[in-house]
Amino acid sequence: MTDVLTTWAGSHTFRGGPLVHPTSVEEVAELVAGARRVRAIGSRHSFHDLADSPGTLVALDRLDIPLEIRSDEGAPGTGAAGTTVTVGGGVRYGELARALHAAGWALHTMASLPHIAVAGTVATATHGSGDSAVNLAAAVRGLELVGAGGEVRHLGPQDDELAGSVVALGALGVVTRVTLAVEPTFDVAQEVWLDLPWETALGRFDDLMGSAYSVSLFTDWRGGAVQQVWRKHRVLDASWTTPPAGDELAGARRAPGPVHPVPGVDPVACTQQGGVPGPWHERLPHFRLEFTPSAGAELQSEYLVPRARAIEAIEAVRALRDRVSPLLQVSEIRSVAGDDLWLSTAAGGGHVGLHFTWLPLRDEVEAVLPAIEAALAPFQARPHWGKLFADRDRSLAGLYPRWADFRELVTRRDPDGVFGNAYLARHGLRD
């Protein structure tokens, strides 16, 4: 690798190489078949060594794979329920969303950033926000991947391996095509409220999180109030008006104008607020595709806890505010519906994510992560696969009922460790 290649925020310099940019699935297959070690690289929206390799790094950004929308008239509940889009693994969600919307279709949710690539997003269980919104990975209906011997495999809904192969952290191959469920396009209106008392936020937590299609709470954990509440409402018809606050927002006030989640940052990069309806893909993400993602220079961590333990987990983090807040740009609290993917952080039921956008102080952040993980351990907290976490006691295996099944699948599909790396070994995902 001749050029220095870093994650998008500059938080990690990738090890490995050469870096190659195949333009076809056939080229990917040839590269994998001729390499001893391989890892795929997408939009590089990670914060550690997940994509490092002792060998070849395969970038998916130049794959020439046309977008294909297909309606299966034989599927139960025909129409939207049976409609899918197949897209190249290196395509960014924001670009996919624009093409889908132009064709009259939509994804059920979006992550905070539209800049992330499809294959890497689903491989790490990245999610959006909303009580009824399942993980982005749970929308996968099929995968095309190049396996350890260069063979091209296709998995569909009928394949038993699909649930174990979607959130796979690159351990099963290079994902060249992803098929996703879609639905008819829709509009969303986004509004922001300020200074919601913690007493109200926790006392009416379920009502608050269910008060819109997507709800995010932004806090620095200090003081007596949640600084911002972002509510994204699905607009059902032309008569829609901004809903009143309701009891779940008692004590908060409407933002007088656009705001950025990070205090003091210009909100020009944020999606439109103020309750103005617009296309789903221009409201569900927090940030616009054409701007630098989030705050730019930052680190991130996130832990997902079962919905029933969310308030206890939030209180546990609040108790650490003196250690956490000085290192923090902002935290986000959001919900995600459950799914049945083996390594999904929302597997088994609804979860609440506790997200941390840190200052770019890696040593200090890594020093506080064990304390956060110890405080959240009683609540079965699962760390986001693509963000910083410690896992010093190798406890992840106990958080996933299908962990042993995943390890067996990896061993069977990649016995020689072609897709193995230090990250997978460190967390016990393969030997």
- Residue 305: domain span: 187-383
Q: Do 171 and 199 belong to one domain? A: no
Q: Are residues 317 and 195 in the same domain?
A: yes
What pLDDT was estimated at residue 242?
A: 82
Q: Which of 160, 185, 210 is the last residue of a domain?
A: 185
Q: Final residue of a domain: which of 120, 154, 185?
A: 185
Residue 106 CA to residue 118 CA, distance in Å, equals 15
Q: Choose the final residue of a domain: 163, 185, 207.
A: 185
Averages of pLDDT over each 10 residues, the chain, 431 residues: 68 82 96 93 82 89 94 49 90 96 97 93 96 97 97 96 97 97 96 97 97 97 97 89 86 96 93 96 94 75 98 98 97 98 98 97 96 97 96 89 98 96 93 85
Q: What is the pLDDT of residue 79?
A: 40
The dihedral sign for the CA sequence 7, 10, 12, 18: positive
Q: Does residue 106 belong to any structural domain of this protein? A: yes
Q: Are residues 240 and 341 in the same domain?
A: yes
Q: Are residues 158 and 290 in the same domain?
A: no
Q: Are 209 and 314 contained in the same domain?
A: yes
215 and 168 in a common domain? no
Max Cα–Cα distance, the chain, nearest Å: 63
Do both 90 and 136 map to the same domain?
Answer: yes
**216 occurs within a structural domain:** yes
Give domain status of residue 22, yes or no: no
| Residue 147 domain-assigned (yes or no) | yes
What is the per-residue pLDDT for 9? 74
> Where residue 250 sits, what CATH number does that domain have?
3.30.70.2520
Co-location of 233 and 343 in the same domain = yes
Phi, psi of 134 (to 5 degrees): -70, 165
Total domain count, the chain: 2
3-state SS, the chain, equals: CCCCCECCCCCCECCCCCEECCCCHHHHHHHHHCCCCEEEECCCCCCCCCCCCCCEEEECCCCCCCCEEEECCCCCCCHHHHEEEEEECCCEHHHHHHHHHHCCEECCCCCCCCCCEHHHHHHCCCCCCEEEEECHHHHEEEEEEECCCCCEEEECCCCCCHHHHCCCCCCCCEEEEEEEECEECCEEEEEEEEEEEHHHHHHCHHHHHCCCCEEEEEECCCCCEEEEEEEEEEECCCCCCCCCCCHHHCCCEECCCCCCCCCCCCHHHECCCCCCCEEHHHCCCCECCCCCCCCCCCEEEEEEEEHHHHHHHHHHHHCCHHHHHHHEEEEEEEEEECECCCCCCCECCCEEEEEEEECCCHHHHHHHHHHHHHHHHHHCCEECCCCCCCCCCCCHHHHCCCHHHHHHHHHHHCCCCCCCCHHHHHCCCCC
- So what's the pLDDT on residue 296? 65
Instruction: Kindly state whether residue 3 falls inside one of the protein's structural domains.
Output: no
Is 269 domain-assigned? yes
165 and 200 in a single domain? The answer is no
As given in the structure block, the two tokens for residue 7 are: 């994650």
Does 275 fall in a domain? yes
pTM for this prediction: 0.95
SS3 of 64-103: CCCCEEEECCCCCCCHHHHEEEEEECCCEHHHHHHHHHHC
Report the CATH number that the domain containing residue 98 is assigned in CATH: 3.30.465.10
Give the C-alpha separation, 327 to 367, whole Å: 11
117 shares its domain with 228: no
Query: 271 and 160, same structural domain?
Result: no
How many residues are there in the chain?
Answer: 431
* Residue labelled with tokens 């060998």: 55
- Whether 85 and 170 map to the same domain: the answer is yes
